[in-house]
Structure 1
Amino acid sequence: MKQYLTRYMDAELEKYLKTIGAVLIVGPKWCGKTTTAEQHAKSVIKLQDKDKTESYLKLADIKPSKLLEGEKPRLIDEWQIAPVLWDSVRNSVDEIGGEGLYILTGSTVVDDTNIIHSGTGRIYRLTMRPMSLYESKNSNGNISLIDLFNNPHLDIDGIKSNLSIEDLIFLSCRGGWPESLNKKSKEAQLLLPSIYVDTICESDASKVDGTKRSPNRVKNILRSYARNISTIATDSRIIKDIKTNYEDISPVTYYSYIDALERLFVIDNLNAWSPNIRSKTAIRSTSKKEFIDPSIAVASLNLTPEILMEDLNTFGFIFENLCIRDLKVYSSSVGGDISYYRDRYGLEADCVLHLNDGRYCLIEFKLGSREEEKGAQNLLKLKELIEKNNMKPPSFLAIITGGEIAYTRKDGVKVIPIGCLR
């Protein structure tokens, strides 16, 4: 029997099931939505069950309320296969009253034209991501992100990570897919992201909205996106890159493919932070290109741990995507919102992590110690600029690294190995 590993989503789901009538869990396929939801449900209906999908769809057309019958909370897995169920769930919540009646899961963003009511006040939406290093038991979790917010002077000196650079490369290639942990061999674990990418290209990119898309074009777009991972490359630059193989691709076609990948939760870009400092035109506004999991970039580029060990410059960009994935997971329970800052004068922060209570921190990602000083100076200069403009200062400054030991620099900047974080 497969062992269930606790997810950050468990506590969030439990909290909202005590608060509202229904909870919708969205996120990429294979990230563990159904398995986690099943831990909290008392009855389950899986609309993607090949033996029953046709009969479920017929019943949804005739009397959708029958599909909602069962002990509560009732899990409706991949509900978007029968979009009419959204309004049925909303109506049921109104009629029955109470909390924790339904859990819905979905791997795609549904076209709002298929839904009559928004579900506001009846259905709460949660986003689930692939497993963080702490959830997969790879990070020891000895340093809590939230503890740092609550106590910026927290003593972290000497706390060690158990992860070597070889480990981090392997974990980035493997990704945070729960099923990979059930594979006995590393070879099988590394193969899973490639299967994921092939599935997206061959079928899901077309199924998401019923528009036929070329698998080769999807793969080419993913490859170009991966080549620009963790950068603020413009869409026009990526289109130019794609045109080396597909000269006839137009911006309209490109954005259609990108929209499909976003609706499948494959692409998870980082928006720019635009505080009221300097001239607004001086601040970069292009989104930073990221995937929901770094293994998608690795698989799209046909990289291996051996190749990345010989190309640590490329791995540095993939490492940043790994860190962003984990920070989004760790901050989700407190409404974390992540962005980046960069202006035309070269001042930057790879990550600005805002909590829902208004506190925030500035973070740089550095794979090794060589770039640490540059990262620290960037953070300190940005903090000084913020204070000069009479803005609320950050709670703390941090550099997240692929190193071994955590410590606080003399200038107050925290240096934290990703293998210590939770």
Structure 2
Amino acid sequence: MEYIPRIGDGVLASRLRSAPMVVVEGPRACGKTELARRQAASVVRFDVDGAARAAAELNPSAILDLPRPVLLDEWQFAPSIWNQARRQSDDAGGVGHFILTGSAVPPDDRTRHSGVGRVSRFRLRPMSLFELGHSTGEASLEALFARDSGHGTGRPELALPDVIEMVCRGGWPATATADTESAVDYVRDQIEEICRTDIASLEGPRHDPVRMRHLLVSLARNVATEARLETLSADVAEAGETITTETVAAYLRSLQRLYVVEEQRHWSVSLRSRSRLRKSPKRHFADPSLAAAALGAGMARLGRDMELLGLLFESLVVRDLRICAEPLRASVFHYRDNTGLEADAVIEHPDGRWIAVEVKLGGQRAIESAARSLLRLRDRVDTDRTGEPAALVIVTATGYPLTRPDGVSVIPVTALGP
């Protein structure tokens, strides 16, 4: 299968120039190994090579004394290699010694050095529409931070049925060129593997695959929301499986360790008004296709259920914003206060610049409402401390890029890029 260039290629190259060890984290099958192999001089596969796992314990130099950078693939299968790699990096000095990829966070190990000052981490996610060739990238996130209002005028390449297809297919490298039916089957198989194999591979409390399956369905129903643990527990109970909120929390931690579920934390900001910030995170799957597969929601159902499609589309946009934000080391939050004012995403640059984003499938009424919300948010934030927003953006499923007279940019997801 021909390699499709990734935004993460540049991120990895940059991190190798600045840190002795680079850790590439992300869900299984998102393309970590292939991305890292292209920049590694040597490769050690701990997930499939038992001899390598034994050598990590008995003779680590046999693995680490290879041409560098050395890719230590799925290093969590040989967690003792962490301290060994860190020590060799210290002894050698300089940068770009090791690339460690991992599809799961290993269990806590007090003997493992934290890596502060030696390690650079970044999250690789499934592919964005820009990487898949479905976005022109004319609306660059970097340009938005630079207050460049030019977003292109080209005709969007996708209609709403195409966007639904992208939600169901997902951004998995293995199915980038497959037909839609095969791609959807691939994601459904991933859901089953998560419940039966991936969760079982984690050390710690045992997980019931049936309860985990019902929890995934509940998470999918509540994707891109601030659903409480009690809500998720009640959903699972309705399916006939009793589960406590403590167990839900433990299962969620396991899904986060596998990078299957990712929280979108609230934006901490000073406000001019007496409004109080809501601090609950939103939850997203690593890819919206996982949520659709968990629900068994195909293209026909999503075409009829605009509410569910809207949530899944928001999750797709958040995925793409996170991917495009990675080269800038920017973070993607959400905003909600006690008055109900919210923004689906707030992208914060390390230097403090920020962009507020609302996500809408389309329609003039929805766009007008979103624009009013963004302008209210701008007025509510204490810009004396944070500065004026670099951009206020409405991301839509279809349509044309434009900047409204009030300064709000309307950008179809088919134009979004890094």
State the TM bucket, normalised to the shorter chain.
over 0.9
3-state SS in 1 of match to 2:285: coil
Query: What TM-score comes out, normalization by structure 1 length?
Result: 0.95
Aligned residue type for 1:412: G
For the 8 Å contact 1:209–1:260, the answer to whether it is kept is no
Is the aligned partner of 1:196 residue 2:195?
Answer: no
Question: How far apart in 2 are the matches of 1:46 and 1:96?
Answer: 23
**Which runs of 5 or more structure 2 residues have no equivalent in the other structure?**
none
Cα separation, 1, equivalents of 2:367 and 2:336 = 18
Counterpart residue number, 2:232: 238
Q: Quick one: distance in 2 between partners of 1:111 and 1:234?
A: 26
Matches of residues 10-409 of structure 1 in structure 2 within 5 Å? 10-49=9-48, 52-53=49-50, 55-113=51-109, 115-152=111-148, 154-156=149-151, 158-183=153-178, 185-277=179-271, 282-369=276-363, 370-387=365-382, 391-409=386-404
Q: Deviations over 1:168-222 (max 9, x none)?
A: 1101111111001142x22111111111111100111121225321111111001
Instruction: Write the distance in 2 (CA, Å) between the matches of 1:19 and 1:199.
Output: 36
CA contact (8 A) 2:53 2:78 kept: yes
Q: Structure 1: how far apart are the matches of 2:150 and 2:65?
A: 53
In 2: Cα distance, 1:382 partner to 1:146 partner = 22
Query: Aligned-pair distance for 1:365?
Result: 0.3
After TM superposition, give the deviation of residue 62 of structure 1 in Å.
1.6
SS of the residue 1:290 aligns to: strand
| CA distance 1:355–1:389, change in 2 (3 Å) | closer
Which whole-Å deviations, capped at 9, do the CAs of 1:23-80 have from their partners, x for residues lacking one?
111110100000000100111111111xx31x22322222222221321111110011
Gap change, CA 1:240 and 1:89, over 3 Å in 2: same
8 Å Cα contact 1:76-1:104 kept in structure 2: yes
- The farther-off stretch of 104-113 and 293-302 is 104-113
CA-CA distance at 1:335 after TM superposition: 1.0
The structure-2 alpha-carbon separation of the partners of 1:280 and 1:12, relative to structure 1 and needing over 3 Å to count, comes to farther
Report the secondary structure of 2:356's partner residue: strand
What amino acid maps onto 2:343 in structure 1? Answer: A
Residue 280 and residue 71 in structure 1: after superposition, are their counterparts in 2 closer, same or farther (change >3 A)?
Answer: farther
How far is 1:247 from its partner?
A: 4.9
Superposition deviation, residue 269 in structure 1:
1.5
Q: Which amino acid aligns with 2:32?
A: K
What TM-score do you get using the length of structure 2 for normalisation?
0.96
Would the alpha carbon gap of residues 67 and 211 (structure 1) be closer, same or farther in structure 2, given more than 3 Å must change? farther
Where structure 1 has 5 or more consecutive residues not aligned to the other structure, the ranges are none
Greater Cα offset, 97-106 or 168-177:
97-106
Once the two structures are TM-superposed, the CA of residue 8 in structure 1 deviates from its matched residue by: 1.1
CA distance in 2, matches of 1:47, 1:278: 53
Q: CA RMSD in A?
A: 1.7
Call closer, same or farther: CA 1:253–1:281 in 2, change over 3 Å.
Answer: farther
Identity %: 36
Secondary structure, aligned partner of 1:56 = helix
Single out whichever of 334-343 and 78-87 deviates more from structure 2: 334-343
> Matched residues in 2 for 1:88 and 1:225: separation?
38
Cα contact 2:272–2:382 (8 A) shared by 1? no
SS of residue in 2 equivalent to 1:361: strand
How far off its partner does 1:390 sit?
Answer: 6.0
- The separation in 1 between residues aligned to 2:25 and 2:351, in whole angstroms, is 24
